Amino acid sequence: HAATDYQAEDATISQGTVATNHLNYTGTGFVDYTNVAGSYVQFTVDAAAAGQAGLQFRYANGSTTDRLMDISVNGTVVASNVSFPATANWDTWVTKTVNASLNAGTNTIRATATTANGGPNLDKLTLGSPSGGGTPGM
Ligand code: GCU
């Protein structure tokens, strides 16, 4: 069946705002992380079955600096300082996939900025198949 999208603007946001001041987002907007370490977006997602999933973060980073984030699942960091490299500009969105093990049913997935730059602009999270060799953070 089709992958499920979770819009960042509908998630729990700590130190960030919903914004619409750039092009090409999906849903009704995106999250602009406050430029501070510790800002986060937390999604509540539903997995049909336990096992590895690909957490597909659609983001834009029109700055020239990598925006690193920790990805945690159900309160445990599963990928530290994941790279969200610069994109062409703030209107250009790309997908970063992090593989992680999910429980069947409800899971919480949090993406937390680890540098004073804050996170990238975050459009949505899609649950899909694991990418590549299954290494978390790839
Ligand atoms: C700019 C941009 C924002 C972005 C911010 C940032 O202000 O318009 O969308 O979030 O830079 O550096 O994080």
Using the mean position of ligand 1's atoms as its centre, give its distance from the Cα of residue 61 in Å. Answer: 8
The answer to whether the CB of 57 falls within 8 A of the CB of 109 is: no
- Protein residue closest via CA to atom 4 of ligand 1: 32
Most informative mutation of 32, 33, 92, 122 for ligand 1 (most atoms within 8 A of CB) = 32
| ipTM value > 0.90 | yes
Q: Mean pLDDT, to the nearest integer, of 120-131?
A: 96
Question: What confidence category does residue 136 fall into, taking pLDDT thresholds of 50, 70 and 90?
Answer: low
Q: Angle 48-54-69 (CA atoms, 0-180°, nearest 5)?
A: 125
Which atom of ligand 1 is nearest to 22's Cα?
Answer: 9
pLDDT in tens, 45-90: 999 999 999 999 999 999 999 999 999 999 999 999 999 999 999 9
pLDDT in tens, 89-125: 999 999 999 999 999 999 999 999 999 999 999 999 9
Query: What is the Cα gyration radius of the chain?
Result: 14
pTM value is 0.94
Using the mean position of ligand 1's atoms as its centre, give its distance from the Cα of residue 96 in Å. Answer: 19
Using the mean position of ligand 1's atoms as its centre, give its distance from the Cα of residue 134 in Å. Answer: 32
Nearest to 7 by CA among 79, 72, 58: 58
**Residues enclosing ligand 1, CB less than 6 A?**
19, 21-22, 32, 35, 63, 90, 118, 121
